[in-house]
């Protein structure tokens, strides 16, 4: 299964590329697309409604400001949605965080930290790894290497 990485603007890609990189390192197939809830609402609906039949197992949605794309997409599919609040100039990303995290009961969005795109990629991989042993082994290896780096760090 694939992970879809969508974002409200090309300006989000500097952050969202961290999810792309971690998933590519783990060998996960991805699709990436700029989809905005307010600038391309028809595209957003089309994407969300066809996600499951297109073989998408997890959707990562990054947006800043009035960041409604993750919640609206989640309302149109049962494919799990992970939201990434993008840091903003005006409010530091608190606007994005609160827009994404406060989903009313019934339509969940797993919300990461502000700019937490790398963790979104890892979390998506962990979901797919529940039914993919090879991917689970790669995640175990990633954790081992991460631990080793901390143990070997000098200050």
Q: What is the token pair recorded at 124?
A: 């998506």
85 forms part of the interface with ligand RP5 (CB under 6 A): no
Query: Is there a contact between 48 and 148 (Cβ–Cβ < 8 Å)?
Result: no
**CA dist 77 to 49, 71, 119, Å?**
6, 10, 22
Is residue 17 within the footprint of ligand RP5 (CB under 6 A)? Answer: no
Nearer Cβ to ligand RP5 (90/153): 90
> 115: buried, middle or exposed (CB in 10 Å: 19+, 13-18, 0-12)?
buried
**Shortest gap between Cβ of 150 and ligand RP5 (angstroms)?**
32
Contact stretch for ligand RP5 (CB under 6 A) within 2-10, 16-24, 124-132, 140-148: 2-10
Contact positions vs ligand RP5 (CB under 6 A) = 7-9, 11-12, 36, 63-65, 86
């Amino acid at each position: 299964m694939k992970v879809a990485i969508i974002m409200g603007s090309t300006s989000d890609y500097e952050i969202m590329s961290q999810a792309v990189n971690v998933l590519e390192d783990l060998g996960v197939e991805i699709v990436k697309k700029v989809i905005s809830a307010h600038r391309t609402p028809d595209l957003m609906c089309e994407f969300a409604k066809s996600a499951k039949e297109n073989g998408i197992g997890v959707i990562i949605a990054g947006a800043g400001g009035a960041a409604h794309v993750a919640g609206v997409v989640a309302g149109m599919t049962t494919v799990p949605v992970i939201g990434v609040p993008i840091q903003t100039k005006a409010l530091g990303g608190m606007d994005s965080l609160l827009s994404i995290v406060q989903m009313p009961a019934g339509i969940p969005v797993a919300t990461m930290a502000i700019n937490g795109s790398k963790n979104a990629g890892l979390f998506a991989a962990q979901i797919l790894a529940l039914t993919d042993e090879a991917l689970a082994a790669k995640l175990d290896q990633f954790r081992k290497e991460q631990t080793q780096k901390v143990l070997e760090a000098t200050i």
